Amino acid sequence: MKHKNKNELLLASIGSLSAGLFPFLGSFDERRLWLAVLLSGTPLIALASGRLTGALPRWLLSFGGPILAVGLVSSLASELPAWGLLGVAQLTLMAISACVIAAALKRQAIADARLNALCFILPAGLWSFAALSIIYTAFATGLPLRYPEPLTIFANIRFLNQYQTWVMPFLALALILPSPTCRVRPVFWYALALSIGVFIWALYWRSMGRGTALATVIATVFVALAFGRPGLRHLKWTVVLSVSGLLLNALLFPGDGAVAGMGRLVSSDSPGRIALWQLALAQIAADPWLGLGPLQFAALDNGIASHPHSAVVQWAVEWGLPAAVLLTGLLGHLLLEWLAFARRTIDPVGTRQAATDSDAMRVAITASLLAAGLHAMVSGVIVMPVSQYMLVLVIGIAGGLYLRSDTTLNEPHHPTGVATFMRASITAVVPVMCLYAMVFTVHDYRTRLAKARSEATSYIRNANQPRYWSDGTLVDISTTRLSK
């Protein structure tokens, strides 16, 4: 039992370390490098341990093959095939990494409180510490905080909002679950979790992100209506953190008119986003089957952004409509499967004491997945490195809980010839993808360093049109046709 507990702690600590390093990486591009290391290293470690093929479910083999094939054809037919192949490799490695996390959690059942603390609460605490350092420096020097400080812990304030969309449900979860360790008195743990949760919400009120607000409200109300008492408990603590964060924001930044700034939350004005969607629709009409090529919306010289601020539109314009239909259909099916699983396993009355923690965890995961999915329709949730990591982590944890609870999935299956071929192919292709993604990323990063591109003004929205890198536009290396 002691050996098993050590394995559980090691697994959860690796997830915490992976997320916890992001706040200490000073720039967007350094975080992109770290994500490339994680996405390349996770499948390779699973492959070296002989667990990669067992971690890949049959549905991924069935749907992933056609999506991968379309992505490769789209990349090779594009104006920038090297960048297209990078986009295909990145999406594939994200899917595989999520499956590896799910398989690991299925084998090692980590307590929900410990999993939440290590993977979400402590990393959020590190982000809070980074922001508090900026506030302390301003107070110590007597200099005023200029907006959007201290939100400059992210290269763009909307990247912070995307992270918050993923993590906010788990902040409420920390106040529902017991203390993750008996070595710390519960009162101290809850004080820490409450402080982190309130401060993250205070940073949200500082940023006034509409997408995060709308997505979080819809997701929180949904779980409250769908899951009975566990959902209502989640709603209660979310409201407590939200209101407390609003008050803290007013105390920390009294001159910025926190309450007056709420007018932005009810505004529907978004001319830049509409212009991006119109441009994307025009490109889809011009090439509906293969699209521009993965990552290559960044090659359009639109002067606004390097991605269309919508996941479905992005897949359609870059990968083509067939791939977009497959990707959207696959993710929609998985979300519906999770919702059915949650409804089936969560006790709406809350009478089963032993299941209380698991129910709360499933409610939080549901809220996080729904909020991020909604937010991805109007933002770059699937684009930016920290948000991409959160996508892999949350989906991986959801998959692990699903696999652990559904005993029918634990029965041995006799692989068919097609499945055996697909597994062998993926085993051969994965190292190539990992090597390509890592070498391309490191080489391009070194090239950009040689050009001495400054990130001094990167906190200003759209200053660098971020995509794969902080200065994410590919206009300077694209052809005239793509630049029009």
Cα–Cα distance for residue pair 393/101, rounded to 1 Å: 7
Higher pLDDT among residues 314 and 447, named by residue: 314
Higher pLDDT among residues 173 and 181, named by residue: 173
Cα–Cα distance for residue pair 427/477, rounded to 1 Å: 33
At residue 245, the pLDDT reads 97
Six-digit token pair at 328?
């959207």
Lowest-confidence pick of 326-330, 348-352, 441-445? 348-352
DSSP string, 457-484: TTTSTTSS--SSSSS---GGGS-HHHH-
* Band (483; pLDDT cuts 50, 70, 90): very low
CA 173 from chain centre, in angstroms, equals 18
* Band (2; pLDDT cuts 50, 70, 90): very low
Cα–Cα distance for residue pair 256/237, rounded to 1 Å: 27
Q: What is the mean pLDDT of residues 66-89?
A: 95
Average pLDDT, the chain: 86
Q: What residue spans define the domains of the chain?
A: 2-13+25-478
* Band (414; pLDDT cuts 50, 70, 90): low
Is pLDDT of 455 > 50? no
Neighbours of 102 (CB within 10 A): 21
pLDDT tens-digit map of 358-367: 999 999 999 9
Is pLDDT of 76 > 50? yes
Decide: helix, strand or coil at residue 275: helix
Whether the Cβ atoms of residue 361 and residue 401 lie closer than 8 Å to each other: yes
pLDDT tens-digit map of 117-172: 989 999 999 999 999 999 999 889 988 888 888 988 888 899 999 999 999 999 99
CA 355 from chain centre, in angstroms, equals 27
DSSP string, 163-210: HHHHHHHHHHHHTTSPPS-TTS-HHHHHHHHHHHHHHHHHHHHHH--H
Is pLDDT of 463 > 70? no
At residue 50, the pLDDT reads 77
Higher pLDDT among residues 20 and 416, named by residue: 20
At residue 263, the pLDDT reads 55
Distance of CA 90 to CAs 17, 50, 73, 386, 446, Å?
Answer: 21, 22, 16, 14, 19
pLDDT tens-digit map of 289-307: 999 999 999 999 888 899 9
Lowest-confidence pick of 39-48, 319-328, 453-462? 453-462
At residue 462, the pLDDT reads 46
Nearest one of 89, 80, 77 to 476, comparing CA atoms: 80
Is pLDDT of 423 > 90? no
Nearest one of 253, 128, 142, 136 to 201, comparing CA atoms: 128
Tell me whether the omega of the peptide bond preceding residue 412 falls within 30 degrees of 0, making it cis. no
